[in-house]
Amino acid sequence: MNKQKNINQIRNRRQARNRAKIFGTHELPRLSVLRTNKGFYCQLIDDENHKTLASASSLGLKADEKKKKKTEQSVLVAQNLAKKAADAGIKGIVFDRGSYRYHGRVSAFAESLRKSGIKF
């Protein structure tokens, strides 16, 4: 079997296992994370109504902020999302890390959200 195909199967299994336990509501939305080589994206999703309540990404950062390390960029994205969540009246979330391990950019993002006052 192709090595990349095997890696993708493992990633899909990990994501399905994680997603089976998580469901977002309007009061407690699901925070979905997407991490790529160039960017970091996140969304607050209401699974009952199939709507995105708020989103933030590293694309919305200023030029001087984009020159920082990727981990520092994810912290800035978390601060932007915390502001948008506060404006929408969201105080708690359900964290969906997708197929990513809770390590590096993902953990820095989550810790920054906790410091901003969002409860997991």
CB 92 within 8 A of CB 118: yes
CATH code for the part of the protein at 3-115: 3.30.420.100
Q: What is the pLDDT of residue 4?
A: 85
Q: Any idea where the domains of the chain sit in the sequence?
A: 3-115
The pLDDT value recorded for residue 19 is 86
- Asked whether 5 and 81 are in contact (CB, 8 A), the reply is no
In this prediction the pTM is 0.88
* Euclidean distance between CA atoms 67 and 23, whole angstroms: 35
Give how far Cα 4 sits from Cα of 56, 100, 108, Å: 29, 16, 27
For residue 18, the model assigns a pLDDT of: 86
Q: What is the pLDDT of residue 1?
A: 65
With a cut of 50, list the residues of the chain below it in pLDDT. none
Q: What is the structure's pLDDT at 51?
A: 95
Q: What's the CA gap between 103 and 110, in Å, rounded?
A: 10
The three state secondary structure string of 31-56 is EEEEECCCCEEEEEEECCCCEEEEEE
**pLDDT confidence of residue 2:** 87
Tokens of 43: 């969304």
